[in-house]
Copies of this chain bind each other. A is one copy, B any other.
Amino acid sequence: MINVALLGHGVVGSGVAEIMTKSKESLSQKIKQDIELKYILDLRSFDNLPYSNKFIKDFNIILNDDSVKIVVEVIGGLHPSFDFVKACLEKGKSVVTSNKELVAEKGYELIKIANENNANFLFEASVGGAIPIIRPLTQCLLANEIEEVYGILNGTTNYILNKMIVDKMDFDSALKLAQENGYAERNPASDIEGTDACRKICILASLAFGKHVYPAQVKTKGITDITLDDIAYADKFNSVIKLIARAKREPGGKISAEVSPALIDKSAIISNVDGVFNAVVVKGDSCDDIMFYGRGAGKMPTASAVVADVLDCAKHLDARKYLSWDDAEDNYIIETTKPVRFYVLAKAKDYEALKQSFESEFKGISSCVYNTDKNEIAFITDFGKADELNSKLSRLKCDSLKTIYKMI
């Protein structure tokens, strides 16, 4: 009999409790051992559930019960999650979490503690909800040198952008609709400002490139200044705008990593990832592009990923999963050295001066729209070094200038 304790009975936690009680027998069959949810830690009380008898309010009961071999942390945030998880790992209990903030901020430290105490620390559900990505990255693609990993890692922003693209809804209305449908929180900052996507790319980049990437190291920009004009110009350039989190191998053992809106050509399959769906693309030297697509959030999708990790822990109580990375180094993350290009929207009261400077700086450019009605020019630059492009742009005679990364 393997006993499991659950920390937190929120959205994901209640899904985990549901699967583990309702499907107890089929899960036990799958791993050829009995597995049982023994405790649920939550400060609130939940009566009238078929498993109400499992609730406790004292973490120490779990910590000191040696029969509990696996602990599931789905409280979220760093406090008290970090202390709880650390204490469990130090006692040799394996821990499964869906807490992306915890893994992005403390992953290196917690994996180290897990290894020292012969326990596993698994977090498949922390990126992409139900989409299997952590395990494929660490196992299936092991024979590849990963060149790049990127994706649409936040369903809320993808839903909002999709509403702007398809229904021509402005940002505020789309956000309101997302909130009404339960896709965005009342305080949507961590989604729309890119923080959530940033945490997830930190986890993927740490795994793909072998050194911990902390959220503070990753330049992060959300979608709050994307307008319907940008969406319409992107469409003219056969592109859609998506919030893309990305990390790339750079020379000298460095990587680049960034979260920002990006234009994606409509021919790329990831441009068709709509609504609240997520997608992760992994580019390896042998496998080329592989994409993983599915529901990136939601109670049952995320809970099913957590439970799969629990089963994996149960099967490997005495074996370590090869899932680890080194600590970060100073200056590990640099600006990309690869050629880039931008979508640019330049406005000027003096349209003629803008036009002239544009034509002298960007002679022969093919993707551009002159909008004399609005005194603005939208265009896609050719590929170039970021600083050279920026210096060309600085010479445009304009009153306002907006640039968005043109990715594919």
Contacts and interface: CB of A to CB of B under 8 A. Distances in A.
A121 to B, nearest CB: 16
A396 B301 CA distance: 45
Copies in the complex: 2
B269 A304 contact: no
A273 interface: yes
Interface stretch (A2-10, A200-208, A288-296): A288-296
A337 interface: no
A294 B304 contact: no
A184 interface: no
Given A140-B308, A273-B269, A304-B284, A290 B131 contact: yes
Given A27-B143, A31-B322, A303 B286 contact: yes
Contacts of A31: 322
A238 interface: no
A334 interface: no
A135 interface: yes
Interface of A: 15, 19, 23, 26-27, 30-31, 124, 130-132, 135-136, 139-145, 269, 272-274, 277, 284, 286-295, 300-301, 303-308, 310-312, 315, 319, 322
Given A19-B286, A269-B273, A287-B301, A142 B293 contact: no
A94 to B, nearest CB: 15
Contacts of A310: 143
Contacts of A292: 290-293
